[in-house]
Amino acid sequence: MAKVLDTQGRPVADALVEAYLDGDSDAAAIALSDDTGGVAIENIPTGTYRIEGSYRRNELVFLVTGVSFSYPSADSHLNIGVIIMKAPGSIRGQATAGPGDNSGTMAYIPGTSYLAITDSAGRFTITGIAEGTYPVSVARPGYTAVSVPGVVVISGSVTPLDPIALERDPALPPPAPQSLAAVYDTASGVVTLGWPPVDAPDLAGYIVYRLDNGTPAAITGVIVATAYRDTVFTAAAADTAPQLSYQVKAVDQTSDQSLFSPLLTVNAPPHRPPSGPFQRPGRSATTEPYWRAPPRGRCSPGARRIT
């Protein structure tokens, strides 16, 4: 049995009380307090529990951990005693994994249901937390998890955390390059690929692939630069318009490779070398300019000099 009271010692009716076995995210039992604040939690398996309580969507909350229950016992109910419900506190922080979109990182208090997900700037606020002292963990796929111990939460207050900078997990392959782009030089027939650097602490470099009959084929070894000049277009016939597709992988110091970057297709116009200067028969193209006579009846200012 349990009895829930507010800070004035008054019974809290209709408080939602949930019992969780340690390590479980699904409640083993759920009950509502009666008009006297009494709560009966029964018919639960033997184990150690955390008890979470809330009233009117977290207007008041409580958290009790390490509650042991053995079944069968002399008392078939989980005995907690008197619990004081208070206004919740919250934890506010920012966790970033580098420039760009930092949404999707999870900030949470281990062993509880308290958690939040970061926005695009990496900001988060964990709300509805019962007063107490907690560790806060921050986790993002592909990055080393960070734990902040001893975070004190006070009823009705916001606890700020220092900014958290996440680092890539060196045990995992690097992330795939993104935002692959290309510039085609029509004069030289050269395509220049480029992409932003990949964030990986043990990055060795990149491998560039070109699709050959739909299959990626490496056209470089491991290169350090985030750009590559491909001269394949210079070999294309003058009357053809080649279309080639590229992908890039990142490689770390242990030769682990990332997934492929998104596919980039380059549509190039037919490559034609630049034409030489205009040459009138019998004259030098480089040293003997000539004047084109103006049409009959036109004034000489209309003439053009062609060299």
Give kind and range of the element (H or E) at residue 107: strand 106-108
CATH 2.60.40.4130 fits 89-165, yes or no: yes
According to CATH, what is the number of the domain 2-84?
A: 2.60.40.10
Whole-number Å distance between alpha carbons of 29 and 255? 50
Within 8 A by CB and 6+ apart from 255, the residues are 204
Cross-strand pairs, 290: 306
**Structure confidence at residue 223 (pLDDT):** 96
Q: Are 44 and 19 in contact (CB under 8 A)?
A: yes
Structure confidence at residue 304 (pLDDT): 42
> End-to-end CA distance of the chain, in Å?
103
Sole residue written with tokens 């027939």: 189
Check residue 156 and give its pLDDT: 96
Q: Which residues contact 147 (CB under 8 A, 6 or more apart)?
A: 135, 136, 137, 138
For residue 232, what are its two tokens?
Answer: 């394949």
- The CA distance from 183 to 245, in Å, is 13
Instruction: Say if residues 55 and 15 touch (Cβ distance below 8 Å).
Output: yes
Q: How far is CA 191 from CA 104, 233, 262, 269, 275, in A?
A: 36, 7, 18, 12, 21
Could you tell me if residue 296 is left (phi over 0), alpha (psi between -120 and 50 degrees) or otherwise beta? beta
Whether 2-84 and 181-267 share one fold: the answer is yes
pLDDT value at residue 193: 95
Tokens for 150, please give them: 């001893």
181-185 β-sheet, strand order: 181-185, 190-194, 227-230
265 neighbors 283 (Cβ within 8 angstroms): no
Amino acid code (one letter) for 10: R
Q: What is the DSSP code string of 8-50?
A: TS-B-TT-EEEEEETT-SS-SEEEE--TTSEE--BS--SEEEE
Which parts of the chain register pLDDT below 50? Answer: 74, 237-238, 285-294, 298-300, 302-307
Residue 288: what pLDDT? 45
| 3-state SS class at 216 | strand
Q: What is the pTM of this model?
A: 0.67
Q: Is the peptide bond before 72 cis (omega within 30 degrees of 0)?
A: yes
224 within 8 A of 198, measured Cβ to Cβ: no
The β-bridge partners of 123 are 94
Backbone angles phi, psi at 90, to 5 degrees: -145, 165
Selected from 3.40.470.10, 3.90.550.10, 2.60.40.10, 1.10.10.10, the CATH number assigned to the domain covering 181-267 reads 2.60.40.10
Domain ranges of the chain: 2-84, 89-165, 181-267, 277-307
